[in-house]
A and B are shown apart, each in its own frame.
Chain A
Amino acid sequence: GAGVSQSPSNKVTEKGKDVELRCDPISGHTALYWYRQRLGQGLEFLIYFQGNSAPDKSGLPSDRFSAERTGESVSTLTIQRTQQEDSAVYLCASTLGISYEQYFGPGTRLTVT
């Protein structure tokens, strides 16, 4: 079956512009996560969606970051007024629950110039 997909795979943007990253989870997975991975670093949690519950936004680094998810489908991560420190790979993962394997997408590499 289809895995987690993310688009675009690469995005280059100018400082100050807004970007929108998309994640399509595996069908039936109620939980969806966004992570940020800076070059050579581990994964930094950003936000977590579980069904229709209020999302856990505790990892968002600033109010320039926001994310939406409609039901158990597609999620979008929006970064407003991008800064050079936002340059990273943004990974999305979906899962049946916290004790289960998280299935990751291939990531979006964001470069802010």
Chain B
Amino acid sequence: AQTVTQSQPEMSVQEAETVTLSCTYDTSESDYYLFWYKQPPSRQMILVIRQEAYKQQNATENRFSVNFQKAAKSFSLKISDSQLGDAAMYFCAFPGAQKLVFGQGTRLTINP
């Protein structure tokens, strides 16, 4: 069974600094997708970024980028130039057997 592990329950960063959120997963598949979702206090889940495993290039969306290490089964999210609006719960997700498996989440606090 696929599992997703986020080892950092909470992280904090100074505004304008860079922070990296960790995620590891376990799978026997070779081709798959990985996702990072953001859940602000409004509780609306929003897709931050998606990575296709067969692509060697790390995905990037503006200030958000991933460090995808397929062999290590690691999928970390880097947020550059952190902004107050980035404060949220962040979930790493992996599609297993037609349903997304979510990590337990990392609560990110931005200090002004």
B-contact 0/1 string along A96-108, CB 8 Å cutoff: 0011011010110
* Total contacts A-B at CB 8 Å: 48
Q: Is the interface of B mostly helix, strand, loop or mixed?
A: strand
B5 to chain A, nearest CB (A): 11
Chain A residues with CB below 8 A from B35, complex form: 101-102
| Complex CA distance for A61 and B3, rounded to whole angstroms | 19
Closest B residue to A33 by CB, please name it: B99
Decide: B44 and A106 in contact? CB cutoff 8 A. Answer: yes
Are A41 and B104 in touch, CB under 8 angstroms?
yes
Number of interface residues of B (CB under 8 A): 20
* Contact B99–A99 (Cβ < 8 Å): no
Contact A43 B102 (CB under 8 A): yes
B33-80 CB contacts (< 8 Å) to partner A? 33, 35, 42-47, 50
Which residues from chain B contact A107 at a C-beta distance below 8 Å?
Answer: 43-44
Q: What CA separation (Å) do A89 and B42 show in the bound complex?
A: 12
**Given known A101-B35, A102-B47, contact A42–B99 (CB-CB < 8 A):** no
**Would you call B91 and A43 a contact (CB within 8 A)?**
yes
14 contacts between A and B (CB under 8 A): A33-B100, A42-B105, A43-B102, A45-B99, A89-B43, A91-B45, A93-B45, A98-B33, A101-B35, A102-B45, A104-B44, A104-B45, A106-B42, A107-B43
13 other contacts beyond A48-B99, A102-B100, A104-B46, with CB at 8 A cut-off? A33-B100, A42-B91, A45-B99, A56-B98, A59-B99, A89-B43, A98-B33, A101-B35, A101-B47, A101-B50, A102-B47, A104-B44, A106-B43
Could you tell me which A residues sit within 8 Å of B by CB distance? 33, 41-43, 45, 48, 50, 56, 59, 89, 91, 93, 98-99, 101-102, 104, 106-107
